[in-house]
């Protein structure tokens, strides 16, 4: 991991990010290094929420059978409930906010390499819930839940068995689970099909991709070929926030990750992310979060 950038976690770095000094209690597969599965209730109490913003090189999903969890995809926050999936594509920024004490279910992440090596990466790309801009939640019925849980338990057995090496069974089971979920996948609703929603989704995506280069709403409006006023009206209509508020949220999300997981000082973060002097950046950060950058960095 480059200590001067927001973490993009590799498979090896994911354990340390999530569990810190508790890694010794984390069960890893000896035969499968390109994917991981665990029961969420096994490790829930070992996690310190909220987990700071980060990106991973892996695709992942959570499937809950009980309780709830709150996680973000980019700037949008979602509550995952029983019988529901949350899907996250590789390299998407995310922040895991919380899990209820009664939570039960499964967490899975996998490297795209296992599908590329088998020539099936295009199959994964056909699942819309793994697109950057699409709705990440999928709720299934009871019959599908039972089939999905059987497949996930089978996958867990494969993961834990040191004698079962190779990825053929893993690929088959993951595709089976994703296909089950896809049968229930729906877009967020009619609002997601409007021109305003389309523009707002692309604005959010641009914020995620360009936040280090562009820090003004007018610059994003130019990028999206609209006027700042039109962009702001669409953002207000869909999110009930201003375009500037979304921009501020993305800056804070990136700043938190830089402060927590890089070797950069506050002054360096101020210049790198906001092109501001440290005092202005500190005031901005505190106005958005309630605490100073230094206090957040050392907490």
Tell me: the pLDDT tens digits for 222-263?
999 999 999 999 999 988 999 999 999 999 999 998 898 788
pLDDT cut 90: percent of the chain above it: 58
In the prediction, which pLDDT does 132 show? 85
- Same domain, yes or no: 174 and 275: no
- Same domain, yes or no: 29 and 163: yes
For residues 1 and 18, give the distance between their C-alpha atoms in angstroms, rounded to a whole number.
15
- Please state, rounded to an integer, the average pLDDT across all residues of the chain: 88
**Span 290-297, mean pLDDT?**
93
In a domain, 2, yes or no: no
- Same domain, yes or no: 148 and 221: no
Q: Confidence band (pLDDT; 50, 70, 90) for 187? A: low
For residues 207 and 20, give the distance between their C-alpha atoms in angstroms, rounded to a whole number.
29
What range does the domain containing 70 cover?
8-182
CA 249 to chain centre: 15
Domain edge (last residue) among 151, 182, 213: 182
- Which among 115-119, 166-170, 266-270 has the top mean pLDDT? 266-270
Number of domains, the chain: 2
Q: What is the largest CA-CA distance in the chain?
A: 61
Is pLDDT of 17 > 80?
no
In the prediction, which pLDDT does 149 show? 98
pTM reported for the whole predicted model: 0.81
Cα angle 169-176-38, degrees, rounded to a multiple of 5: 70
In a domain, 3, yes or no: no
For residues 64 and 44, give the distance between their C-alpha atoms in angstroms, rounded to a whole number.
13
175 HSE (CA, 13 A, CB side) = 17
Question: Helices H, strands E: what count in the chain?
Answer: 13, 10
Residues in a beta bridge with 56: 9
In the prediction, which pLDDT does 250 show? 93
Beta strands in the chain (DSSP E): 8-9, 35-39, 51-56, 59-66, 69-73, 76-80, 84-88, 94-99, 104-110, 137-139
- Same domain, yes or no: 130 and 259: no
User: 3-class SS at 275?
Assistant: coil
């Amino acid at each position: 991991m480059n200590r001067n950038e927001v973490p993009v976690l590799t498979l090896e770095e994911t354990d340390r990010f999530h569990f810190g000094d508790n890694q010794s209690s984390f069960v890893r597969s000896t035969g499968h290094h390109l994917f991981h599965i665990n029961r969420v209730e096994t490790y829930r109490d070992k996690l310190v929420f909220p987990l700071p913003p980060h990106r991973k090189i892996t695709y992942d999903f959570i499937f809950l059978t009980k309780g709830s969890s709150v996680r973000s995809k980019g700037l949008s926050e979602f509550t995952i409930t029983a019988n529901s999936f949350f899907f996250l594509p590789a390299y998407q920024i995310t922040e895991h906010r919380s899990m209820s004490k009664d939570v039960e279910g499964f967490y899975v992440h996998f490297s795209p390499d296992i599908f590329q090596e088998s020539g099936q990466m295009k199959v994964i790309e056909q699942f819309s819930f793994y697109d950057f801009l699409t709705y990440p939640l999928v709720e299934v019925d009871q019959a599908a839940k039972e089939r999905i849980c059987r497949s996930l338990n089978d996958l867990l057995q494969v993961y834990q068995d040191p004698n079962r090496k190779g990825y053929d069974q893993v690929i088959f089971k993951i595709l089976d689970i994703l296909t089950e979920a896809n049968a229930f996948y729906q877009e967020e609703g009619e609002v997601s099909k409007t021109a305003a929603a389309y523009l707002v989704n692309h604005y959010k995506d641009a914020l995620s991709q360009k936040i280090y280069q562009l820090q003004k709403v007018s610059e994003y409006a130019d990028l999206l070929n609209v006027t700042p006023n039109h962009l702001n009206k669409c953002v207000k209509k869909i999110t009930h926030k201003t375009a500037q508020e979304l921009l501020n949220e993305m800056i804070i999300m990136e700043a938190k990750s830089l402060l927590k997981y890089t070797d950069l000082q506050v002054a360096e973060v101020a210049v790198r992310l906001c092109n501001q002097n440290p005092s202005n950046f500190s005031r901005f950060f505190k106005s958005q979060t309630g605490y100073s950058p230094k206090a957040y960095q050392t907490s």
